[in-house]
Structure formats: structure tokens, C-alpha cells
Homo-oligomer: A and B are copies of this chain.
């Protein structure tokens, strides 16, 4: 059930950066997940063909961490935050799964000690890592798909903890 208002708008309906001046500083954490789907041949190139295993993912990992730091520069109403930790992990599903594709799953965990949460930073980290995987493999496969990205969990802050349901 949706009950809250969209807090990013002021009384006249215009966008604003929500005022969190009065909120407490607490430890916060968010985990987001996403994926990149590709032909099995493309995954084979990444995994062990032409190139040293893992290098595409090494670049994507750096990009995801740097992307998390750029969140307030990308997402207009995001508050700047001093991130205290960012980690990404990748998991390969050779499959082939749905539509005959292989998948690289991406997970990002972001932490801060601040007045607002880090959901956007975790989502941006996953999104930037996925874009980077696409970029590094696009000469071989332009039909890759950046798969669904969602928030898996969130801890800390007044609105309480959030954990995506099993059908989420």
C-alpha cells in the first residue's frame, strides 16, 4: 500500500532536495542487485578466451565503486554523503537461462554514517558496473541486456529496515 507523499516536491509541486537537517546521524547500509545478460559465447570471451580471466569484472568493480561516489552528481535530488564503505561482487551463471542467455549477477553493498540512506548509491554502483560490462564487450556483442536492478535490503534510519519479499 502506498501511503506516503512523494517528498521530493515542495508545496507548489516543484522539485527540491528534501530537508534532512533535523534527522539523526546513524549507521546506514543498502544492498542492491542487478545483472547483465549475454550470449554464452560472449561470456566465454570474458571468462577465459582472449583475455586474462576476470579483467572485465575488475574494471567493472572499480567503475561501480567510483559510480557510487558520483551518485549525488548524477541523481539530481540526492544528498551528498560521506560513504564509509562500498563493495561489489559478481557471480556468473553460465546457464543458458531465459532466452538462451548467460548472466553475470552484480551485487553492491554501500555504507555510510549520515542523515539519509544509501539506496541510490547502491543502485548507482550496480548500474555503473553493468554499463561498464556492456561497454567492454560491445565490440563482440551489441545485443547484451542490462537486466533488472532492484534494492535488496536497507538498514538504519527512521523509516526502518527494508528487505525485499520473496516474490520481489
State in angstroms the CA–CA spacing of A72 and B72 once bound together: 14
Q: Is the interface of A mostly helix, strand, loop or mixed?
A: mixed
A65 nearest in chain B by CB position? B17
Contact B115 A21 (CB under 8 A): no
Taking CB atoms, residues of chain B closer than 8 Å to A7 are 139
Taking CB atoms, residues of chain B closer than 8 Å to A151 are 142-143
Can you name 9 extra interface pairs (CB under 8 A) apart from A6-B140, A14-B88, A143-B150?
A2-B42, A13-B51, A20-B85, A21-B27, A67-B74, A119-B138, A120-B138, A127-B127, A144-B150
Contact B14 A61 (CB under 8 A): yes
How many chain-A residues does the 8 Å CB contact rule pick out?
107
Q: Knowing A84-B79, A135-B75, A142-B162, say if A15 contacts B59 (CB, 8 Å).
A: yes
Partner of A148, one of B4, B78, B112, B145: B145
Partner of A2, one of B23, B39, B123: B39
Contact B124 A131 (CB under 8 A): yes
Contact A55 B146 (CB under 8 A): no
Contact B55 A9 (CB under 8 A): yes
Interface 0/1 of A35-47, CB less than 8 Å to B: 0000101101110
Taking CB atoms, residues of chain B closer than 8 Å to A113 are 21, 115
Task: Report 30 cross-chain contacts, Cβ distance below 8 Å, ordered by A residue.
Answer: A2-B45, A2-B140, A2-B141, A3-B140, A4-B140, A5-B50, A6-B139, A8-B59, A14-B61, A15-B55, A15-B61, A16-B86, A19-B111, A20-B85, A23-B84, A62-B76, A66-B73, A69-B72, A70-B73, A70-B74, A74-B131, A75-B131, A75-B135, A76-B132, A79-B83, A81-B82, A127-B127, A142-B162, A143-B151, A143-B164
